[in-house]
Amino acid sequence: MRLILIAVTALLLAGSASAADPAAARAHEAEGDRLRAQGQYAAALAEYRAEVAAGGQTAEAWKRIGWSLRALQRTPEAAEALRKATELDPGDREARDDLASLRRSRGLMVRAWLGGTEPGTSKQALEGQLRYAGFDRLELQAGGGWTDNIFYTATKAYATAYHFYGAGSYLKGDLSVRRYAYSGANRPTPDSNAYDLVPRLEVEVSHRFGRVLRGALAYQLFAPDFFYDQATRIVNHKVSAEVELQLGRGFSVTGMAALLRDPDPSRTTIKDRRLPTVPPGTVTCGPGIVSPDCATTTSVVMRTEVLVGGGAAYRAEPITASVRFIPNRDLDSGYAWSVLSWLELRPRERLSFDLQWILDRYSSVSGPIFAGNYGNIYWGRARYQLTPALALGGGLKFVKNPSPASTSPTAGARGDATLLLDVEWRTGLLHQEAGR
């Protein structure tokens, strides 16, 4: 009986060995690495699983499976794959570190920025955020910030939730509120149609169709009141769609379109403010002032705009680059169009550089100083992963446009730099073991 068992075991082992195909396993791994470098994580995962099926039962193969699953937000499966890698090779420090990093990523993360998170025209900005990803396929964010845009200051609070329901696909919900302030001895008078308190709700779904196509659909509802007539609240709507097509070799193109429903500043009148047909600064209006150039009631005339844009991108380690053309990017008719370009370099595993340039063309209704002119925003930042839990960044933002450098009436065209500092700390608090 013992001889029979030994013979059967030998036959099974021989069959398993004959089924292994090292050349096919290497080919699948190479193709998986290429696809993962292009951000095609679902396709890369299929290649790595094919590598294992071809006999590539190695720690390296399971690490790659874990990396791909993590990129797809499938953290329980990613943790199991990385655990498998550590079991196959207990001495693989990279697998152990990646498993520890996955656990940290599911705890509470704290982020803070001096200078803000986007290369806008703000002179200074402060922002903070808490992020928690301890639930499977769910990420929660909450934060707030303050911005000084010379002509006004703004404070903002927001809460965001992402549900990752498939490979490269998610559902996003966002609720935010922003308040603008134009007070201060040297701040200029805002436009009559300037907003005061702006609550906003946004819902977005982004879905990947196979390897080459991604589509997104979003809806925004924002219900602001007016700075000069806080008793009047309106409801604005924006519906937008985006399609991204992978061309291969790391290249992709994107098409964007949006339908915007908001007040027409050339026809909307605000109580006790000058009529839109009257040039700024030529008349004084206010409560109790009677003038044919001043509005006696608020009358909002809505308009519908169609916005169309597009872009292109290249993604392949260690370089990611993109460029986008967007009309009316601030949704207030201040810009006719904008070109947003971005370049990220990762020369080392822990070091990255973020370079951005925005070219704005101001619209004909943006005021005599701006109309038809151009603005430039330059952004450069370096980021270093100091420890597995702590990352630090720093750089400069430079804004050059026709607006004054300050609210002083004698200030010339703007050309000032803003210091950028940021910190990211993975606290590990509230951590939940993935898959358990």
- DSSP for 380-421 reads EEEEEE-SSSEEEEEEEEEEEEEEESSS-TT--EEEEEEEEE
A 10 A CB-CB count for 246 gives 21
- Look at residue 19 in the predicted model and tell me its pLDDT: 56
- Look at residue 392 in the predicted model and tell me its pLDDT: 98
- Band the pLDDT of 112: cuts 50, 70, 90: very high
Question: Cα(132)–Cα(130) distance, rounded to whole angstroms?
Answer: 7
- Any idea which of 22-31, 211-220, 391-400 has the lowest mean pLDDT? 22-31
Q: What are phi and psi of 333, to 5 degrees?
A: 65, 10
Question: Cα(369)–Cα(332) distance, rounded to whole angstroms?
Answer: 17
Query: What does the chain come to in residues?
Result: 436
- Look at residue 433 in the predicted model and tell me its pLDDT: 52
- Class of the CATH domain delimited by 2-105: mainly alpha
User: What mean pLDDT value characterizes the chain?
Assistant: 86
- Per-residue 3-state assignment (H helix, E strand, C coil) for 260-284: EEEECCCCCECCCCECCCCCCCCCC
- Any idea which of 17-31, 106-120, 309-323 has the lowest mean pLDDT? 17-31
Give the residue-averaged pLDDT of 211-233: 94
pLDDT at 261 over 70: yes
- Look at residue 297 in the predicted model and tell me its pLDDT: 94
- What CATH number was assigned to the domain covering residues 108-264+301-426? 2.40.160.40
pLDDT at 54 over 90: no
| Cis before 347 (ω within 30) | no
Instruction: Provide the percentage of residues in the chain whose pLDDT is more than 90.
Output: 49
**What is the per-residue pLDDT across 381-419, written as a single tens digit (0 to 9) for each?**
999 999 989 999 999 999 998 877 666 655 567 778 899
- Look at residue 7 in the predicted model and tell me its pLDDT: 46
- Band the pLDDT of 188: cuts 50, 70, 90: low
- Look at residue 283 in the predicted model and tell me its pLDDT: 86
**What is the per-residue pLDDT across 283-335, written as a single tens digit (0 to 9) for each?**
889 888 999 999 999 999 999 999 999 999 999 889 999 999 999 887 777 88
Helices (H) and strands (E) in the chain, counts: 6, 18
- Band the pLDDT of 12: cuts 50, 70, 90: very low
A 10 A CB-CB count for 191 gives 21
Looking at per-residue confidence, does 407 or 251 come out higher? 251
CA-to-CA dists, residue 345 to 191, 318, 351, 379, angstroms: 41, 6, 8, 14
- Band the pLDDT of 16: cuts 50, 70, 90: very low
- Look at residue 334 in the predicted model and tell me its pLDDT: 80
**What is the per-residue pLDDT across 116-165, written as a single tens digit (0 to 9) for each?**
888 888 889 999 999 998 888 899 999 999 999 888 899 999 999 999 88
Q: What are phi and psi of 308, to 5 degrees?
A: -130, 135
Give the residue-averaged pLDDT of 55-82: 85
- Band the pLDDT of 72: cuts 50, 70, 90: confident
pLDDT at 48 over 50: yes
Question: Cα(158)–Cα(144) distance, rounded to whole angstroms?
Answer: 6
CA-to-CA dists, residue 57 to 64, 111, 410, angstroms: 12, 39, 72
Note whether 95 and 87 are within 8 A (CB): no
* Best CA proximity match to 380, nearest among 393, 392, 390: 393
Q: Any idea what the Cα angle at residue 103 is, between residues 99 and 105, rounded to 5°?
A: 115
Q: Find residue 259's DSSP bridge partners.
A: 239, 306
- Band the pLDDT of 178: cuts 50, 70, 90: very high
Question: Cα(324)–Cα(253) distance, rounded to whole angstroms?
Answer: 10
**What is the per-residue pLDDT across 324-377, written as a single tens digit (0 to 9) for each?**
999 988 777 788 999 999 999 999 989 999 999 999 998 887 777 788 899 999
- Look at residue 59 in the predicted model and tell me its pLDDT: 87
Note whether 112 and 423 are within 8 A (CB): yes
Domain boundary assignment for the chain = 2-105, 108-264+301-426
